[in-house]
Amino acid sequence: MKIEDNIETFNSLIKRSGWIWGPSPEIYGGLAGFYSYGPAGMALKNNILSIFRKELRSFGFGEVECPTVMPEIVWEASGHLERFIDPILKCKKCGSVYRADKFLKDKLPDMMIDGLSFEKMEQLIKENNLMCPECESDFGKIEEYNLMLKTKVGTDSTAFLRPETATTTYLLFNRLDQVMRRQYPLKVFQFGKAYRNEISPRQGVLRMRSFDQFELQLFISKEQEMNFDEFEDVKESKLPLLDWRLQEKNIDIPKLTSLEEAIDNKILKKPAYAYCLYIGYYLIKKLGYPENVVRFRQHSPNERAHYADDAWDLEVETEQYGWVEICGIHDRTDYDLRRHGEHSGQNFEIAMGSDPKNKEIPQILEIAYGIDRIIYTLLETNFNVEDGRINMELNTFLAPNTVAVFPLVRNKEEITNLAKKINSELQDNLISSFYDESGSIGKRYRRQDELGTPFCITIDYDSLEDQEVTIRDRDSMEQDRVPISEITNIIQERLIKSKL
RNA sequence: GCACCUGUUGUAUAGUGGUAGUAUACUGGCUUCCCAAGCCCGUGACCCGGGUUCGAAUCCCGGCAGGUGCACCA
């Protein structure tokens, strides 16, 4: 098999080495938009989650988990029922499909289209004698396409699989307010599956119908948003910002801007929101993306979601799919809590400051990561081929195996026994260690390179005499001779160092 | 969802109307070796369903999936 530094090699590696498989279920031909993770991919995911959780603890976040199925009223309140339904216009003859509202906006730029009923839109099409641009035939009736997956709970109660985790977190608001003792801003996150019935999912794991989200929420007062203590600690941090005004000028190179500068120049309105950009970037930087593949891109006002006052995407540049959104940071205002207050009859007005009479519904700032997109972009941007050697240059703490242990030869029992002992000692110290004795030593090194294993330990004849082994570094392929008694310490040190 | 192209072992590919080779991976053996060595043995595939045919993986139709373009992407 030829090993080249190209995307075909990468794509087959993803399957071959057990990172990502699909579409699932593969043995039945697969269902578009659904993928599974193999052992390597799952280990990577768990390692990402583990560093996120560790970091968020130090930022003062608590974690929650909610059901993935919620009754209809929740989505009525959140606005998803209304806004996640696309009006679809289908040509009677050739079957071409258009978004009715977008189509009308395009054809009738002077009309107000937003908020029109299906009947009104159908009327407009008739009045203006609009035809299918493909084949000049008439359109059928406008149909609805719901991006939410519908299900039944019990015998006749309609429910939906959540299209985002965020909404389910908001439903816990009054509990969180109490358990977090009104120490505003409340900081909460949730990791879990969300579901969207994409019309035609493509781009593999980047647009799935069932995917993992990792969403952070800040419940905060209006006053705090503008006057936020923690902003002071981070305001000098520089982020690669591409605001929408730059994009309008067809500029696509972000400008390294300090948050303070961004506020002063009115690129960002609220210090607390700026702080969210900082957290969003901070967690991503932990994962070890290469330089210059990460940027923040601001949504233009008409690109924003129905709940958002401001929105920036954290994007990673990939070879295969261009710039990919891996995180969205939204200023959701008080929209969600106001709506859920109204629909549930709860009073979500809270005194968040020192004056108990001054009550208001908290604002929500959201940092939403797509974990699957992080996994894909990390793998693609860390994938390297040098002189025919595939090397997955994952950060040490992210690699599925932190270390692999090999006996130089496998027909010398003293050597294999010592190797097995070292392997289990590492495992006993909670280090992901993997034992391998099959094939040649070189082949074993290459296998681990493909999995991104940063360290390989080889036990040879000399080890039996001097109680030393070699540690081989994945990227430099250099070997160090170290005492067996030091191995655990050395690996642990490097593991911790990689997390800082 | 539409149009075009595509679908052969785990991966990458060759191929013909008479059921398949190659590379690599994998299992076992020899070799005992520090960067994909060699030799031997072995396992393993024609996406699914229907049709045409004496006979289909090959031709036709439908489905499913992937790629590209259009549309869609909170």
**Region A105-109: what's the mean pLDDT?**
71
Same domain? For A423 and A290 the reply is no
The CATH number of residue A142's host domain is 3.30.40.230
A2 is a domain residue:
no
Residue A401 has pLDDT above 80, yes or no: yes
Same domain? For A225 and A167 the reply is yes
A388 is a domain residue:
no
- The complex's ipTM works out to 0.91
Which positions of strand B lie within 7 Å of protein CB atoms?
1-3, 7, 10-13, 23-28, 30-37, 47-48, 63-68, 70-74
Q: How far is CA A280 from the centre of its chain?
A: 11
**Domain carrying residue A130:** 85-146
Looking at A361, A382, A403, the residue that finishes a domain is A382
**Residue A89 — pLDDT band, cuts 50, 70, 90?**
confident
**Region A104-121: what's the mean pLDDT?**
71
More confident residue, A14 or A116: A14
Q: Which residues of A399-419 are buried (b: 16+ CB within 10 A; e: fewer)?
A: bbbbbbbbbbeeeeeebbebb
Residue A121 has pLDDT above 90, yes or no: no
Same domain? For A472 and A429 the reply is yes
A389 is a domain residue:
no
The total number of structural domains that make up chain A = 3
Instruction: Provide, in whole angstroms, the distance separating residue A482's CA from nucleotide B12's C1'.
Output: 40
Residue A368 has pLDDT above 50, yes or no: yes
Instruction: Provide, in whole angstroms, the distance separating residue A421's CA from nucleotide B9's C1'.
Output: 37
A133 is a domain residue:
yes
Q: At what angle do helices A7-16 and A371-382 cross, to 10 degrees?
A: 120
> Mean pLDDT lowest for which of A112-121, A234-243, A382-391, A438-447?
A112-121
Same domain? For A177 and A126 the reply is no
| Average pLDDT across chain A, whole number | 90
Same domain? For A274 and A373 the reply is yes
**Residue A412 — pLDDT band, cuts 50, 70, 90?**
confident
Q: Kindly report the CA angle at A386 between A385 and A388, in degrees rounded to 5?
A: 80
The CATH number of residue A443's host domain is 3.40.50.800
Residue A106 CB neighbour total at 10 angstroms: 12
A464 is a domain residue:
yes
Looking at A354, A382, A410, the residue that finishes a domain is A382
Contact A44, A19 (CB under 8 A): yes
Instruction: Provide, in whole angstroms, the distance separating residue A363's CA from nucleotide B27's C1'.
Output: 61
Same domain? For A19 and A112 the reply is no
Same domain? For A134 and A160 the reply is no
SS3 A482: strand
What are φ and ψ of residue A489, in 5° steps?
-60, -45
Q: Is the CB of A439 under 7 A from strand B?
A: yes
A165 is a domain residue:
yes
Instruction: Provide, in whole angstroms, the distance separating residue A15's CA from nucleotide B13's C1'.
Output: 17
**Region A426-437: what's the mean pLDDT?**
95
Provide the pLDDT for residue A1: 41
Same domain? For A338 and A407 the reply is no
A202 is a domain residue:
yes
Which amino acid is present at A33? G
Same domain? For A239 and A254 the reply is yes
Same domain? For A68 and A44 the reply is yes
Cα dist from A106 to A100, A110, A244, whole Å? 10, 9, 22
Same domain? For A142 and A155 the reply is no
A80 is a domain residue:
no
**Residue A131 — pLDDT band, cuts 50, 70, 90?**
confident
Which residues of chain A (455-474) touch nucleic strand B at CB < 7 A? 458-461, 469-470, 472
**Residue A175 — pLDDT band, cuts 50, 70, 90?**
very high
Same domain? For A20 and A107 the reply is no
Q: Is the CB of A147 under 7 A from strand B?
A: yes
Looking at A94, A129, A146, the residue that finishes a domain is A146
